[in-house]
Amino acid sequence: MEVSRRKAITLVAVLAIAVSAVWYVADKNGGSLDFSDTEVRVVVSASMDGEPRSGYDIESIPVGSMVFIRHGGSDSFYSSLEVGDVLTFHYKNPATREDMVVTHRIIAISSGPSGYTYTMAGDAIVDRSPSSPSTQTVTSASGDIIGKVTGVSPTLGSLVEVFSTFAGKVLLVVIPCSILAVSGIWDIVKTRRGKGSDGVRGSIEGDKEE
């Protein structure tokens, strides 16, 4: 009875953790469990690690955070974007000609015959005016926009960073192996205890028959 109760408690705890994890990830994915049009990335710069912008869905993105990006591309996607939304996009640095993937906030939107033009800037940038050289411009027609950021998780980003190290990879192997080893040893101990008690019971019954 005690073993069954322990198993039931363990099962409930595992289910609770699993449900919480699914809910947490779905919440970061815009409240959806459909990840077919979503990708995740880890932000490696502090350009969005500024003062939280209250009133926006994405208030800030601390460096090292994991971001959930809902892919765009349709006309309805581009027309739904607003100032304050955060986009991830391909960008070629005009100074170094380096191809980059940038995650910044929309600070201005204009439209014309060829589509929409979005002016982007990081929250940590001091001069965020549309004419500032620290801003970027990306258009709906360019195909450079990867998608809109729907969620941010510093916790998941930290876990990715930890498990990407050598020590983290070792832990991924050691922890499951340790759990299996302890479980196996516990099963052996229980089996031996059971055999021991059966032997004692048989000896007592034999003495009674005499």
∠ CA 24-25-28, nearest 5°, is 90
Q: Report yes or no on 52 lying in a domain.
A: yes
Q: Report yes or no on 158 lying in a domain.
A: no
- CA 154 to chain centroid: 8
Residue 87, strand partner residues: 104, 148
Shared domain check, 53 and 92: yes
Whole-number Å distance between alpha carbons of 128 and 133: 9
Q: Which domain holds residue 26?
A: 1-33
Shared domain check, 138 and 53: yes
Q: What does the pLDDT read at residue 3?
A: 52
Q: What does the pLDDT read at residue 5?
A: 61
58: CATH: 2.10.109.10
Shared domain check, 105 and 76: yes
DSSP states of 135-156:
-EEEETTTT-EEEEEEEEEHHH
Q: Report yes or no on 113 lying in a domain.
A: yes
pLDDT in tens, 31-56: 545 566 788 888 888 999 888 888 88
What integer best gives the mean pLDDT of the chain?
Answer: 77
Whole-number Å distance between alpha carbons of 123 and 14: 39
Which has the closest alpha carbon to 118: 71, 83, 167? Answer: 83
Q: What does the pLDDT read at residue 32?
A: 47
Q: How many domains does the chain have?
A: 3
Please say whether the beta carbons of 68 and 38 come within 8 A. Answer: yes
Residue with tokens 């009674």: 208
3-state secondary structure of 176: helix
Please tell me whether the overall predicted TM-score, pTM, comes out greater than 0.85 for this model. Answer: no
Which segments in the chain show pLDDT lower than 70?
A: 1-36, 130-131, 162-184, 186-187, 189-190, 192-210
Shared domain check, 45 and 17: no
Could you give the residue ranges of the DSSP H alpha helices within the chain?
2-28, 75-80, 154-163, 166-209
3-state secondary structure of 99: strand
